[in-house]
Amino acid sequence: RFLSPEFIPPRGRTDPLKFYIERKDMIQRRKAFNIPEFYVGHILAVTTANPYASEKASRFVGICIQRGGKGLGATFVLRNIIEDQGVEIRYELYNPRIQAIEVLKLEKRLDDNLMYLRDALPEYSTFDVNMKPVSHLDHEEIPVNKLQVRMKPKPWSKRWERPQYNIKGIKFELPEKKMKEAQKWSQPWVEFDMLREYDTSKIEEKIWKEVSEELKK
Amino acid sequence: SVTGACQAIQKLTRVRVVDNSALGNTPYHRPPKCIHVYNKNGIGKVGDKILLAIKGEKKKALIVGHKMPGPVMTPRFDSNNVVLIEDNGNPVGTRIKTPIPYILRRREGEFSKVLAIARNFV
């Protein structure tokens, strides 16, 4: 029972008709081409049509570090390190150039956004290009990898120790003083702010029913 | 590097030379820096030619990857990569190990020799 996050409309005052039309297009594309269920932290292999590649198709293997966008413009970023060079590619889920998405390893991580892998040691982002798909038996559980990643020495691209990022998957080797100083920027009132609340449970159920009915046809 | 994330390549950006030429690989106390971008605006993206200052000499180079996110479906590298080039377009090195984006293939005419020595494509 998984609904892809790009189906859920963002909070705003746009006409729901726009989202309905987009959902129809997304479902049509899904019927033509299977987009598997995947989360941030999965290792995917994407083959895209490329006029400049040999055999017109290029394959890229990487870990999904971020899923963004809503509707037809939904994107995901795959990261891998090839020949000591970190490469990240942002793919659009509904782009007709994508020919196949295979999930090589199903594995959720502790966070929703793995952008800190850019500042982590390269061993945490290297994945074998010719990796065999790891078979996943049960349809219910997706294992959570509670890996604590070790980072390169500071400076980092973002101050990941700050509480706004809420990262649980890093092993901070910073002194206690720095960790306490980072907590100065915490905003504990934000989680109780009622104006920022966006309850998607009912919307999700409606959309889930709609989408699953359409896909069964 | 000492400064923070560097966007597309412009004057005074520190660059990483990626081929196996002698100029690019011998250590020097100053990193190779861009001094001019051959573009109408001073911003260099993938496939633009720039002038580098390496080891006290001026050398032209071709940008093969930068840290700035580009169009969707194109790769974004973790370092600003550059391949040393002569004035007529011949590469100085003989092999390029790091991956090169497929976008460069569009301008096969100008960069055919660089693409010939490249080994991996992304």
- Find the mean pLDDT for residues B62-86: 91
Number of domains in chain A: 1
Structure tokens at A198: 């966006």
Phi, psi of B100 (to 5 degrees): -115, 140
Which residues of B fall within a CB distance of 8 Å from A48?
A: 73
Does the pLDDT at position B6 exceed 60?
no
ipTM of the complex: 0.86
Phi, psi of A190 (to 5 degrees): -65, -35
Residues of chain B contacting A, Cβ within 8 Å? 4-5, 65, 69, 72-79, 81, 97-99, 102-103, 105-106, 120-122
Residue B7 pLDDT class (50, 70, 90 cuts): low
Nearest to B102 among A50, A85, A118 (CB): A50
Q: Determine the residue of chain A that is closest to B106 in CA distance.
A: A52
Which residues of B fall within a CB distance of 8 Å from A90?
A: 69, 72-73, 76
Residues of chain A contacting B, Cβ within 8 Å? 48, 50, 52-53, 58, 60, 75, 82-92, 95, 97, 118, 155, 157
How far is residue A40 from each of residues A14, A145, A157, A159, measured CA to CA in Å? 28, 11, 20, 21
Which residues of B fall within a CB distance of 8 Å from A89?
A: 73-76, 122
The pTM assigned to this predicted structure is 0.90
| Domain assignment of residue A108, yes or no | yes
pLDDT < 70 positions in chain A: 138
Which residues of B fall within a CB distance of 8 Å from A82?
A: 98-99, 120, 122
How far, in Å, CA of B21 to CA of B59, rounded?
12
| Domain assignment of residue A1, yes or no | no
- Find the mean pLDDT for residues B7-32: 90
Fold of B13-117: Ribosomal Protein L14 (2.40.150)
**Shortest distance, CA B121 to any CA of chain A (angstroms):** 8
Q: Determine the residue of chain B that is closest to A73 in CA distance.
A: B72
- Beta strands (DSSP E) in B1-122 are 16-17, 33-37, 49-54, 57-65, 75-77, 81-85
Between residues B4 and A104, the one the model is more confident about? A104
Which residues of B fall within a CB distance of 8 Å from A84?
A: 98
**Residue B2: its pLDDT value, please?**
52
| Domain assignment of residue A200, yes or no | no
Counting one residue from chain A and one from chain B, the pairs whose CB atoms sit within 8 A come to: 62
CATH number, domain containing residue A40? 2.30.30
**CB-CB under 8 Å, A86 with B75:** no
Q: Supply the range of the domain harboring residue A124.
A: 33-186
**CB-CB under 8 Å, A86 with B78:** yes
B77: three-class secondary structure by DSSP: strand
| Domain assignment of residue A27, yes or no | no
Which residues of A fall within a CB distance of 8 Å from B5?
A: 157
How far, in Å, CA of A57 to CA of A97, rounded?
9
**Residue B4: its pLDDT value, please?**
44
- Find the mean pLDDT for residues B69-89: 91
In chain B, where the domains are located: 13-117
* Buried-state track A133-168, b at ≥16 Cβ within 10 A, e below 16: eeeeeeeeebeeeeeebebeeeebebebbeeeeebe
- Find the mean pLDDT for residues B104-108: 88
Q: Determine the residue of chain A that is closest to B115 in CA distance.
A: A52
Q: Determine the residue of chain A that is closest to B80 in CA distance.
A: A85
DSSP B39: S
| Domain assignment of residue A114, yes or no | yes
- Cβ–Cβ contacts within 10 Å for residue A100, how many? 13
Q: Residue B22: enclosing H or E segment and its boundaries?
A: helix B22-25
